[in-house]
Copies of this chain bind each other. A is one copy, B any other.
């Protein structure tokens, strides 16, 4: 049974929270930022939400015009406008304490982090990665000083790698672990390995001074 409480406050902030302020709602939006997802994919991405509650939230978000339900769940145009806000909230949350274990980490989370944190050399030639996480394929494209993540197979790729979100996250915070991750099988690489190092260091290495991506689209 979907919830229907309201802050009963005319302010835009309160009205926004009437729509996406219920528990788990913004995490559902997060999961849909990069690609539509099916119910079971959302369940896998958010393992700590119970199935009935997830179903309730999706119904609410659909009813309120944030999410559209077709074959999979996807953001409406209005829902998509939450993207810069949710990303900014994520940047802010980086400084929050780590949550208690056991901890979840979805593919979308890591990829959003990657997009926001990567600062590839603008002078370097564009590079395309095929990235398989939890069985789903993504295309990562490095070009003109930014990283772009899209769902699905790339037309062509410099290198392909298969891993899981936690391992990828660990690599993004310490590229030096790539070798051991490859030998223990948690990362499988096909193609130009040096390109991966390039990607990881685009996230790790300190940014040039004054290079702050702002929140405006």
Point out residues on A near B: beta carbons under 8 Å. 6-19, 21, 23-24, 26-27, 30, 46, 48, 64, 78, 81-82, 84-86, 88-106, 109-110, 112-113, 169, 214-216
How many of these chains are in the complex?
2
CB-based closest 7 A-B pairs: A16-B93, A214-B216, A11-B109, A12-B90, A12-B93, A15-B96, A15-B93
Cα of A216 to Cα of B217 in the assembled complex, Å: 10
Q: Cα distance A216–B91 when bound, in Å? A: 13
A91 with B12: CB separation less than 8 A: yes
A169 to chain B, nearest CB (A): 7
Q: List 25 A-B contacts (CB under 8 A).
A: A6-B100, A7-B27, A7-B48, A9-B27, A9-B106, A9-B109, A10-B105, A11-B93, A12-B89, A12-B91, A12-B92, A12-B93, A13-B26, A13-B89, A13-B112, A14-B30, A16-B90, A16-B96, A18-B93, A19-B96, A21-B26, A64-B97, A78-B95, A81-B92, A216-B216
The contact of A30 among B11, B30, B96, B106, by CB within 8 Å, is: B11
Choose one: B7, B10, B48, B106; the contact of A11 (CB below 8 Å): B106
- Other-chain contact of A88, B11, B46, B84 (Cβ < 8 Å): B84
Q: Is the CB of B90 within 8 A of A169?
A: no
Which residues in B have their C-beta under 8 angstroms from that of A85? 85, 88-89, 92, 215
